[in-house]
Amino acid sequence: MSEAEETPDSHDLGKLTRWHEGLNAETGRGFPVCALFLASGEDTRAHDIFRVYRSAFEALDAGFHDLVIFGQHGMSTTCAALIQGLGLSGLDTPSLVLINDAAGMVFHSTRLPAGSLADGQTEEDGAAVAWRVALTEIERSAKDGVTASLGSVKGLERMNVSGETLAEAVGRVKLEVEAA
């Protein structure tokens, strides 16, 4: 299938497979968090925030599996399966989910701005918005080689998940999507 013929489902399933492989290949101390963006094709503001994260993560030598976006080319069954399979069923898109997998999975999530900006309008979110404060903490923790402390970031909702590692959970979701 050519890139022009690729559907949101096939694109996101390929990305899920690559993410799972990267999580399984990770050895030793990894990046302080995994940033998961869940969006739709129309959420250009969320895509812009993803690009800010991508630039910062690249500067910190993060791997592909440390930052991933689903739904970028349209809502997909993979994106919906991730929301359900990771236990994020109350989460609206677009959202950012920061995952710390060091001692049992801990999710910190925040809703991102939906849609696109009107012509001539600029994003007015300031330095205190949750996704920016979280990124600053991630950058600090990556440079210092410590676990990111996201619990005090106003606007992030915390959820503890037990029983699986992130790689195991993503692998389970991948098998479910492939079987559907």
Going along the chain from its start, the domains and CATH numbers come out as: 3-179 (3.40.30.10)
* Residue-wise pLDDT tens digits, 118-177: 544 455 566 789 999 999 999 999 999 888 899 999 999 999 887 788 999 999 999 999
Task: Give per-residue burial for 98-110: e unless 16+ CB within 10 Å, then b.
Answer: bbbbeeebbbbbb
pTM of the model: 0.88
* Residue-wise pLDDT tens digits, 19-48: 999 998 865 557 889 999 999 878 888 989
User: What is the distance between the alpha carbons of residues 62 and 80, in angstroms, rounded to a whole number?
Assistant: 26
